[in-house]
């Protein structure tokens, strides 16, 4: 009788400790799961890459939810916009965005085909009989004379042909 | 003084003008400027600023080619010649025969932009042909 009571106490303690171990294990497992990001770095990287796809020179890397953008873009606007876009690709899982993008503008194309440019210059200057224009290596050199009010229309017409340079220093303005 | 400094007012005006594709760079001693302005007024304003900095464009250190986005197919354009009529030609080029004329100030329809220099147009009388784009200004 005495012994059975003692057994009962030991039994109770055993159950208690099992419950305790079970609770602790659950807590550790739950804790571990909740610490893990909901989306893996690889998934996050793939997600951001779909929104930066228009910019082939941009490299996306992700570590523990921290995003780094590197590589080159064509303008300052693209640079700041892409950081914004990367953040918004998954605002809950992107912890931070390090913007290491550099701006490398594509060169502006000029027309260096002298034959093509010469033909276009002839069209553009047709209505300016007192003006002479010559093309060499993409540079239009204008000489002769012109009325003050027509200087700007002439320059606008010549600039519209995308030459390398329009030299009007030899043009007399009346 | 660098070109970006010399033409700072021009570039600042361009940046504040709502030109989404504005591009500029100093290349071989010339400041190249490209972009599409929302309307003809904006384009003309930029040219005024440029002319103020470099009167009569004598320095030759800028090439500015600003397009106007409102000049779309099917829109109305005004003939902006100095004083004479504008030739309407059979094809894109001054070597092409003249098939009609449009008066200064006349509003005609832009049918299509054959290229940057020559646009296909139609007058109210139904005359159709190519005009030199420089003499056509979008009607806002």
The answer to whether residue A142 scores a pLDDT higher than 80 is yes
What CA–CA distances, in Å, run from A146 to A131, B31, B85?
7, 24, 20
Name the residue facing A166 among B24, B63, B94 (closest C-beta). B63
The answer to whether residue A2 scores a pLDDT higher than 60 is no
- pLDDT tier, A29 (very low <50, low <70, confident <90, very high otherwise): low
Query: In this structure, what CATH number is given to the domain that contains residue B94?
Result: 2.30.30.40
Instruction: Give the tens place of pLDDT for each residue, B88-109.
Output: 999 999 999 999 999 999 999 9
User: What's chain A's average pLDDT?
Assistant: 86
Strands (DSSP E) found in chain B: 23-27, 30-37, 62-68, 76-79, 86-89, 98-102, 107-113, 118-122, 128-132, 136-138
Class of domain A114-173 as given by CATH: alpha beta
State the complex-level ipTM. 0.87
Mark A85-102 as b/e (b = at least 16 C-beta within 10 Å): bbeebbeebbeebeeebe
| Interface list for chain B against chain A, based on CB atoms closer than 8 Å | 23-25, 27-30, 32, 34, 47, 51, 56-61, 63-65, 82, 84, 93-94, 116-117, 132-134
Cβ(B3)–Cβ(B35) under 8 Å? no
Q: Name the domain count of chain B.
A: 2
Residue B132: give the domain boundaries.
76-138
CATH fold of A41-103? 3.30.1340
Burial of A142: CB neighbours in 10 Å, binned 0-12, 13-18, 19+ = buried
Pick from B11, B38, B68: which residue ends a domain?
B68
User: What's chain B's average pLDDT?
Assistant: 92
Please indicate whether, in this complex, the C-beta atoms of A151 and B56 are within 8 angstroms of each other: yes
CA pseudo-torsion sign B47, B51, A171, B64: negative
Instruction: Give the tens place of pLDDT for each residue, B50-68.
Output: 999 999 999 999 999 999 8
3-state secondary structure of B34: strand
Pick from B12, B43, B68: which residue ends a domain?
B68
Query: In this structure, what CATH number is given to the domain that contains residue B50?
Result: 3.30.1340
């Amino acid at each position: 009788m005495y012994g059975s009571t003692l057994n009962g106490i030991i039994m109770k303690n055993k159950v208690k400790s099992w419950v305790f171990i079970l609770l602790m294990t659950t807590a550790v497992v739950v804790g571990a799961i909740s610490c893990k990001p909901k989306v893996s770095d690889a998934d996050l990287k793939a997600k951001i890459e779909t929104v930066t796809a228009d910019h082939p020179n941009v490299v996306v890397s992700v570590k523990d939810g921290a995003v780094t953008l590197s590589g080159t873009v064509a303008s300052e606007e693209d640079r700041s916009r892409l950081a914004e876009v990367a953040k918004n690709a998954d605002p809950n899982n992107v912890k931070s965005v390090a913007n290491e993008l550099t701006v490398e503008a594509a060169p502006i194309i000029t027309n260096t085909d002298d034959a093509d440019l010469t033909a276009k210059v002839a069209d553009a200057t047709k209505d300016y009989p007192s003006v002479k224009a010559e093309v060499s290596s993409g540079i239009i050199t204008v000489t002769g004379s012109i009325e003050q009010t027509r200087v700007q229309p002439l320059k606008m017409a010549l600039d519209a042909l995308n030459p390398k340079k329009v030299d009007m220093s030899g043009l007399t303005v009346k | 003084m660098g070109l970006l400094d010399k033409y700072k007012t021009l570039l600042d005006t361009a940046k504040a003008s709502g030109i989404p594709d504005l591009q500029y760079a100093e290349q071989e001693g010339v400041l190249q400027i490209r972009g599409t302005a929302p309307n003809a007024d904006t384009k003309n304003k930029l040219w005024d600023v440029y002319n103020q900095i470099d009167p009569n464009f004598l320095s030759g250190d800028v090439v500015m080619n600003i397009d106007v986005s409102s000049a779309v197919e099917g829109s109305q354009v005004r003939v902006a010649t100095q004083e004479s009529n504008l030739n309407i030609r059979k094809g894109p080029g001054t070597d092409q025969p003249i098939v009609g004329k449009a008066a200064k100030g006349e509003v005609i329809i832009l049918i299509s932009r054959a290229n940057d220099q020559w646009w296909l147009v139609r007058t109210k009388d139904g005359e159709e042909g190519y005009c030199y784009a420089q003499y056509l200004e979008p009607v806002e």
